[in-house]
């Protein structure tokens, strides 16, 4: 087993938070007020990272245009967040499932129950990456709140060796992941309400960044019309209603007329809008 870099006690995400020092003694309302106050810091922590996020989006778009893909890799909460963001791209933007992929230490079983033992082995990270067919034209985004997870660092090192674009998302300043990645995104929301529980503020910060990466990339590649989700797949009642409202908003026709346009376009929202424009 690999020696873990950077002792845990030095990490920002492991520090005790003075604001929540007596949280177990507070009333329920006071408790959630403390949590809410700490959560307010999360969005602010993203602001200094916007230039790096923009650079990452441009890099992802360049890879997509060249036939490449985006891969997320992480362990525990970080891995689950990557898989979540990847899994939401096909229904939101009607892109193939292979275009954005999430890799989590421990595989699919780790999505529903903790199996974090594999996160300490960089070789497993490399193996899992190569098993997905990752190549030089792809982009690898490593996710680790601590910035020290060997599983992620191993995969990033392999992607760098190939010459691929690497992005590192962590919540600890000067982390190994930030230093190893070509683009480092390092929001610093500060110590957690429960010391070391990075499913809280660090997890929220990570989710915000992932939202920006894929949303920004697909806006840049033409999957959004104005601010409308024109590539949505209307596969259930809710999404069918949304599709009709999008068409009505984009064209100015009535809701019922939008339904007719959608049917004529075989449930393809973009095609329905384009057919009306012609």
Please return the burial class of 3, using the count of CB atoms within 10 Å of its CB with bins 0-12, 13-18 and 19+.
Answer: exposed
Band (67; pLDDT cuts 50, 70, 90): very high
Question: Quick one: pLDDT at residue 248?
Answer: 94
Instruction: Pick the catalytic residue from 14, 38, 49, 119.
Output: 119
Please return the burial class of 258, using the count of CB atoms within 10 Å of its CB with bins 0-12, 13-18 and 19+.
Answer: buried
Domain assignment present for residue 229? The answer is: no
At 119 the three-state DSSP class reads helix
Percent of the chain with pLDDT over 90: 71
One domain for residues 94 and 195:
yes
Q: Is the pLDDT of residue 253 over 50?
A: yes
One domain for residues 210 and 250:
no
pLDDT tens, position by position, 167-225:
999 999 999 999 999 999 999 998 888 887 888 999 999 999 999 999 999 999 988 88
**Active-site annotation holds for 158:** no
Domain assignment present for residue 227? The answer is: no
CA nearest to 90, candidates 69, 107, 76: 69
Contact assessment for residue 104 and residue 82, using Cβ atoms and an 8 Å cutoff:
yes
d(CA 7, CA 204): 24
pLDDT tens, position by position, 15-46:
777 878 888 999 999 999 999 999 999 999 99
One domain for residues 46 and 155:
yes
Contact assessment for residue 251 and residue 261, using Cβ atoms and an 8 Å cutoff:
yes
**Which range of residues forms the domain containing residue 213?**
8-220
Q: For residue 84, what are its two tokens?
A: 């979540």
d(CA 19, CA 195): 11
**Active-site annotation holds for 88:** yes
Contact assessment for residue 189 and residue 206, using Cβ atoms and an 8 Å cutoff:
no
Any idea what the CATH number is for the domain that residue 25 is in?
3.40.50.10490
Question: Quick one: pLDDT at residue 186?
Answer: 97
Phi, psi (rounded to 5 degrees) for 164? -80, 160
- When pLDDT is averaged across residues 56-62 and rounded to a whole number, the result is 98
Instruction: Pick the catalytic residue from 88, 116, 257, 260.
Output: 88
One domain for residues 135 and 64:
yes
pTM of the shown model: 0.87
Can you give 74-114 as a three-state secondary structure string?
ECHHHHHHHHHHHHHHHHHHCCCCCCEEEEECCHHHHHCCC
Domain count, the chain: 2
């Amino acid at each position: 087993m690999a020696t873990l870099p950077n002792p845990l006690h030095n990490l920002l995400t492991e520090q005790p938070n003075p604001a929540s020092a007596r949280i177990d003694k507070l009333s329920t309302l006071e408790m959630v007020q403390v949590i809410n106050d700490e959560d307010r810091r999360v969005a602010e922590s993203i602001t200094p990272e916007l230039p790096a996020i923009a650079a990452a989006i441009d890099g992802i778009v360049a890879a997509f245009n060249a036939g490449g893909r985006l891969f997320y890799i992480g362990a525990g909460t970080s891995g689950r967040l990557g898989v979540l963001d990847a899994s939401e791209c096909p229904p939101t933007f009607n892109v193939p499932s292979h275009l954005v992929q999430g890799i989590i230490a421990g595989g699919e079983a780790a999505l529903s129950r903790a199996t974090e033992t594999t996160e300490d082995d960089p070789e497993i990270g490399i193996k899992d990456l190569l098993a997905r067919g990752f190549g030089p034209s792809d982009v690898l985004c490593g996710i680790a709140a601590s910035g020290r997870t060997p599983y992620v660092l191993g995969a990033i090192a392999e992607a760098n060796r190939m010459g691929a674009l690497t992005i590192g998302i962590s919540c600890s300043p000067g982390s190994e992941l930030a230093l190893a990645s070509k683009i480092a995104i390092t929001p610093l929301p500060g110590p957690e309400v429960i010391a070391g529980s990075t499913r809280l503020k660090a997890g929220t910060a990570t989710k915000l960044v992932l939202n920006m990466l894929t949303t920004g990339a697909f806006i840049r590649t033409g999957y959004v019309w104005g601010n409308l989700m024109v590539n949505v797949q209307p596969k259930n009642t809710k999404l069918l209603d949304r599709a009709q409202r999008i068409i009505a908003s984009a064209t100015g026709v009535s809701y019922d007329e939008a339904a007719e346009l959608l049917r004529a376009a075989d449930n393809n929202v973009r095609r329905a809008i384009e057919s009306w424009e012609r």
